[in-house]
């Protein structure tokens, strides 16, 4: 068993991977067994995930990877599949960027259960796509009438691999149906919306066993049928935060990829009125920790621009775009990187230009100027959110760990150090897969507690350090411009 790797299945919003991780006392090595696209499909009734294609790619990745000690699955949060009384999946899971939830909270949910009461119970920031609002949007559908079990996407994939049914708690904590204080389901919220609390399966925690492979899965992948599937922190952000290479307590983190999830790790939720008003979330991390954070649009803004530019036949080479952005005029135009208007797919360059036009700012004329606008706006949002988090949670922060794909973006890392006025330690890029693998290794007794996991990552993974360049006054003035921009 010593050199047999663990398999992390890590699905992101645009691609998925099967990654093999080998864990030794002082070593931690990753190799990618399989990478595949995750391409959402627009159907007449909404934007859907192609979950069958994802599942097949996972099987192909496991087959390509060879024997493993165990398997763990993490994906993005909030989305789910519904099973009928026969255990069959009802339809194609909706994508959280589908616009059917627009206005649903105010129309369907808050009249029955107020936003204050919801915050007290669940501690979640308001995001239109939270599972609760997605269910409320479909409340009258034939699908909901036929549904007997709700499985979050990673739990659905675990179910197809093993036949077992459960709800992993870090991901359950993003549903708006989970009690932030007790760490148990808040099924009464479904009751109040005339939905069935019986949809919610029993909870399981990272590290719990989730079964072994079904015979046909073992036959296809070539893996032995007793290969365990281990429950990991199945919310990708929870796995990423578990893998922050922190060696002290006074850190903030930014899990930076499609989204920037910026915040603090706490022992207990902050459910104050100030925290609700600032729209901070209390999601669950591993070992009962609280991920106190806000969602910032993240590199979605840039990736969606590049997708549009590809369709328009314009250049999309990332290093070249970033070099142009580095040379572009600083602070020419800023957008609110937390604004819901950037959530949906569609011509992002034009939406950013329209935002600048509407708010009386210079409209970025070149691709480089537009990328500069995006990266400065993200860095500014990182500053705002981390400063607010530190005040609301009454915690001092001495440095920032920026993990995930965004840690490769040197300009964004430097701008984040400049904007926050704090040293930024960037990396590991593969934080999510590392968190997934180390929770499996821990379940097998191969690594110690959370601090030990983090020490192993800090000692083995490549990290980059960014020091603030001391232009704090410019960032303070940019930060003071933003509220005016938002109101204009
Ligand atoms: C990041 C993420 C984030 C959620 C969003 C839906 O991948 O899981 O934490 O808010 O996707």
Distance 129 CA to ligand 1 centre (A): 10
Is there an atom of ligand 1 within 6 Å of 134 CB? Answer: no
Is there an atom of ligand 1 within 6 Å of 261 CB? Answer: yes
Is there an atom of ligand 1 within 6 Å of 236 CB? Answer: yes
Is there an atom of ligand 1 within 6 Å of 303 CB? Answer: no
Distance 237 CA to ligand 1 centre (A): 7
Identify the active-site residue in 98, 155, 179, 236: 236
Determine the atom of ligand 1 nearest the C-alpha atom of 96.
Answer: 6
- pLDDT value for 2: 56
**Which of 237, 280, 298 to probe ligand 1 with, by most ligand atoms within 8 A of CB?**
237
Is there an atom of ligand 1 within 6 Å of 337 CB? Answer: no
Active site residue 236: yes
- pLDDT value for 3: 82
Is there an atom of ligand 1 within 6 Å of 77 CB? Answer: yes
- pLDDT value for 484: 78
Distance 77 CA to ligand 1 centre (A): 5
With a threshold of 0.95, tell me whether the complex ipTM lies above it.
yes
Reduce the DSSP state of residue 89 to 3 states and report it.
Answer: strand
- pLDDT value for 1: 45
Is there an atom of ligand 1 within 6 Å of 258 CB? Answer: yes
Nearest CA to ligand 1 atom 8: 76
Nearest CA to ligand 1 atom 7: 76
Determine the atom of ligand 1 nearest the C-alpha atom of 78.
Answer: 6
Nearest CA to ligand 1 atom 9: 237
Is there an atom of ligand 1 within 6 Å of 94 CB? Answer: no
CB atoms near residue 215 (< 10 Å): 9
Nearest CA to ligand 1 atom 11: 76
Distance 445 CA to ligand 1 centre (A): 29
Distance 372 CA to ligand 1 centre (A): 24
Distance 24 CA to ligand 1 centre (A): 30
Is there an atom of ligand 1 within 6 Å of 78 CB? Answer: yes
Distance 348 CA to ligand 1 centre (A): 19
Q: What is the mean pLDDT of each run of 10 residues along the chain (488 residues)?
A: 87 97 97 97 96 98 97 98 98 97 96 96 97 96 97 98 98 98 95 95 98 98 98 98 97 98 98 97 97 98 97 97 98 95 96 96 97 98 98 98 98 98 98 98 97 98 97 94 78
Nearest CA to ligand 1 atom 4: 77
C-alpha to C-alpha distances, 224 to 59, 162, 213, 220, 401, nearest whole angstrom: 13, 13, 8, 10, 38
């Amino acid at each position: 068993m010593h050199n047999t790797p663990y398999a992390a299945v890590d699905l992101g919003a645009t691609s998925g991977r099967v990654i093999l991780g080998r864990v030794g006392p002082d070593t931690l090595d990753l190799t990618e067994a399989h990478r595949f696209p995750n391409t959402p499909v627009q159907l007449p009734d909404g934007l859907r995930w192609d979950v069958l294609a994802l599942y097949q790619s996972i099987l192909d990745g496991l087959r390509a990877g060879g024997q493993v000690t165990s398997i763990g699955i993490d994906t993005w949060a909030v989305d789910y599949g519904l099973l009928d009384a026969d255990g069959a999946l009802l339809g194609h899971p909706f994508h959280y960027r589908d616009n059917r939830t627009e206005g649903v909270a105010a129309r369907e949910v808050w009249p029955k259960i107020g936003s204050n009461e919801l915050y007290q119970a669940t501690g979640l920031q308001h995001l239109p796509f939270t599972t609760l609002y997605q269910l409320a949007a479909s409340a009258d559908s034939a699908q909901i009438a036929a549904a007997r079990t709700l499985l979050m996407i990673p739990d659905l994939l675990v179910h197809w691999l093993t036949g077992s049914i459960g709800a992993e708690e870090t991901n359950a904590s993003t549903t708006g149906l989970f009690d932030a204080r007790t760490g148990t389901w808040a099924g009464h919220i479904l009751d109040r919306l005339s939905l069935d609390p019986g949809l919610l399966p029993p909870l399981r925690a990272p590290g719990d066993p989730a079964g072994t492979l079904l015979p046909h899965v073992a036959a296809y992948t070539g893996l032995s049928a007793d290969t365990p599937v281990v429950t990991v922190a199945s919310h990708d952000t929870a796995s990423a935060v578990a893998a922050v290479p922190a060696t002290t307590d006074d850190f903030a983190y930014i899990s930076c990829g499609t989204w920037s999830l910026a915040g603090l790790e706490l022992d207990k939720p902050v459910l104050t009125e100030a925290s609700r008003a600032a729209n901070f979330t209390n999601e669950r991390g591993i070992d009962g920790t609280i991920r106190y954070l806000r969602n910032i649009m993240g590199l979605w803004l840039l990736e969606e621009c590049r997708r549009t530019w590809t369709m328009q036949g314009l250049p999309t080479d990332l290093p070249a775009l970033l070099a142009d952005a580095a040379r572009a005029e600083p602070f020419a135009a800023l957008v609110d990187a937390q604004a819901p208007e950037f959530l949906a797919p569609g011509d992002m360059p034009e939406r950013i230009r329209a935002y600048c036009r509407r708010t009386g700012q210079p409209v970025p004329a070149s691709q480089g100027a537009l990328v500069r606008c995006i990266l400065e706006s993200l860095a500014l949002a990182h500053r705002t959110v981390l400063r607010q988090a530190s005040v609301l949670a009454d915690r001092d922060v001495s440095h920032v760990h920026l993990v995930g794909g965004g840690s490769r973006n040197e300009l964004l890392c430097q701008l984040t150090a400049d904007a926050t006025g704090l040293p930024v330690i960037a990396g590991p890029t593969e934080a999510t897969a590392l968190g997934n693998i180390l929770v499996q290794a821990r379940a097998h007794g191969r690594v110690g507690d959370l601090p030990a996991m983090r020490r192993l990552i800090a000692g083995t993974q490549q990290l980059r350090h960014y020091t603030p360049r001391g232009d704090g006054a410019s960032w303070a003035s940019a930060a003071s411009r933003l509220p005016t921009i938002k109101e204009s």
